[in-house]
Amino acid sequence: MKKRLIGTLLGFLALFGFGAIYYGILTADSAAAMAAANASCMLEAPNMAYILFGNVMMAYLLVYAFDKMGVNDAKAGAYQGAMIFAIVWAFFQAFMLAQFKMFDIQFALIEWVVGIVHGILGGAAIGAYNAKQA
CB of 81 closer than 8 Å to CB of 123 = yes
Give the pLDDT of residue 73. Answer: 96
Per-residue pLDDT band for 36 (boundaries 50, 70, 90) equals confident
Can you give the residue ranges of every domain in the chain? 2-133
CB of 123 closer than 8 Å to CB of 82 = yes
Locate the DSSP E strands across the chain: none
The candidate with the shortest Cα–Cα distance to 112, out of 84, 83, 90, 79, is 90
pLDDT, average across residues 93-108: 92
Better-scored residue on pLDDT, 102 or 92: 92
List, for residues 40-88, the tens digit of each pLDDT value.
888 888 899 999 999 999 999 999 999 999 999 999 999 999 999 999 9
* Cα-based distances in Å from 42 to 27, 32, 93: 17, 10, 18
The candidate with the shortest Cα–Cα distance to 81, out of 32, 128, 133, is 128
pTM recorded for the entire structure: 0.90
Per-residue pLDDT band for 39 (boundaries 50, 70, 90) equals confident
